[in-house]
Chains A and B, each alone.
Chain A
Amino acid sequence: MARIPIIKVGSALIATVDEDLTDDDALEFQERLNAAIERTGAAGVLIDVTLVETIDSFLGRLLHEIAVGARLLGATTVVAGIQPPVAMTLVELGLQLDGVKTALTAERGLAMLAAPSRANRAR
C-alpha cells in the first residue's frame, strides 16, 4: 500500500502524491490529511501531483473533495504540478476542478499559500 508522506513546513502541510494510487490509497490519504489539518491547525495544504501520470474521474473528484474539506477545516489547498497531458485529459473527461487552486510547480504553490498569510499579518 502506498503511503503519501504529509510533512509540516511552517503553517503549511505538504504532501507528495505517488505516481499511481489505488482508490483505497487515495481515500486513506484524504482521511490522514484531514486528521493532520485538525491536529496541526495548518492554514495551507500543498498537494504536489508532479509525479502523477493519471487523474481519472475518481481521483479528480477526490482532489476537489479534499480541497472543500480542508476549507471547512480552515485551510487553503493548492494542487501543484498537474502535468499538461493530465490537465488536458481532465478537460476532455469533463471534469472541472472548480474551486481548486492550482499552481504550475510546488514552489509556486507554496508562494500562493504564503501570500495570504503575509497579507493577514500586515493587517
Chain B
Amino acid sequence: MLDERVLTISGEADIVTARQAARQFAAALGFNAMDQSRITTAVSELARNVVRYATNSHGVVHVRETEAGGRIGIEIVVADEGPGIADTEQAMRRGFSSGNGLGLGLSGTGRLMDEMDMKSAPGEGTCVTIRKWRR
C-alpha cells in the first residue's frame, strides 16, 4: 500500500507544518539529505503562495508515495480554491511576481523538483503537482 498524508493550510504557521511533513515523508522514503532539502523548500514555496494568494489563505496539501517504471518517488499536490492564475506560463517565469516577491517561488520549485505541473484558471483555484524520483 502506498502511503499518503493530507494537511490543511489555513495560515502562516501551516507553512512550517507542511514542510516538516514533507521532510519526514521524504526521509521515510529514503531520499538523501540534498533531495530532502529540495523537496522541503519546494513545499515551503507552494504553501506560502497559498497563504499569500489564496482566499482566506486556505488550501490543501497531499504528500504521497508514487511509483513509475520501478522507481519510487514522492508526489506532492498543493491545491487551493483561490482566485487562480490567468497566465500560468508568466507566473512560472523566473522573476515574475504580481506582488513584491522575487518571483522565485514557482520557477525555483520547478528547478528543485523533477516534475512540476500547474493547473489554474481565473476563479477556479490553483493546483500544483510536483514529483521527485529517488535516485
Residues B111 and A54 in contact, CB atoms below 8 Å apart:
no
Nearest residue (CB) in A for B95 is: A94
Any A CB within 8 A of the CB of B99: no
A43-78 CB mask vs B (1 if < 8 Å, else 0) is: 000000000011111100100000000000000000
Any A CB within 8 A of the CB of B120: no
Any B CB within 8 A of the CB of A31: no
Question: Cβ of B48: which chain A residues have Cβ within 8 Å of it?
Answer: 23, 56, 58
Task: Name, among B45, B48, B104, the residue most crowded by chain A CB atoms within 10 Å (CB to CB).
Answer: B104
Contact partner of A20 (CB less than 8 A), chosen from B20, B33, B38, is B20
Q: Give the distance in Å from the alpha carbon of A20 to the alpha carbon of B17 in the complex.
A: 10
Interface residue count on the A side (C-beta < 8 Å): 21
Known: A20-B19, A22-B16, A94-B111. A53 touches B104 (CB 8 A): no
Any B CB within 8 A of the CB of A85: yes
Any B CB within 8 A of the CB of A104: no
Nearest residue (CB) in A for B104 is: A57
Q: Give the distance in Å from the alpha carbon of A86 to the alpha carbon of B38 in the complex.
A: 8
Contact partner of A89 (CB less than 8 A), chosen from B16, B20, B23, B112, is B112
Residues A56 and B13 in contact, CB atoms below 8 Å apart:
no
Distance in angstroms from A14 CB to nearest chain B CB is 24
Q: Give the distance in Å from the alpha carbon of A20 to the alpha carbon of B107 in the complex.
A: 23
Distance in angstroms from A16 CB to nearest chain B CB is 18
Residues A22 and B13 in contact, CB atoms below 8 Å apart:
yes
Residues on B lying within 8 angstroms of A by beta carbon are 12-13, 15-16, 19-20, 23, 33-34, 36-38, 40-41, 44-45, 48, 94, 101-102, 104-105, 107-108, 111-112
Q: List 23 A-B contacts (CB under 8 A).
A: A20-B16, A22-B13, A53-B37, A54-B23, A54-B40, A54-B44, A55-B41, A56-B41, A57-B102, A57-B105, A57-B108, A58-B44, A58-B48, A61-B102, A85-B33, A85-B36, A88-B34, A89-B41, A89-B112, A92-B111, A93-B104, A93-B112, A94-B108
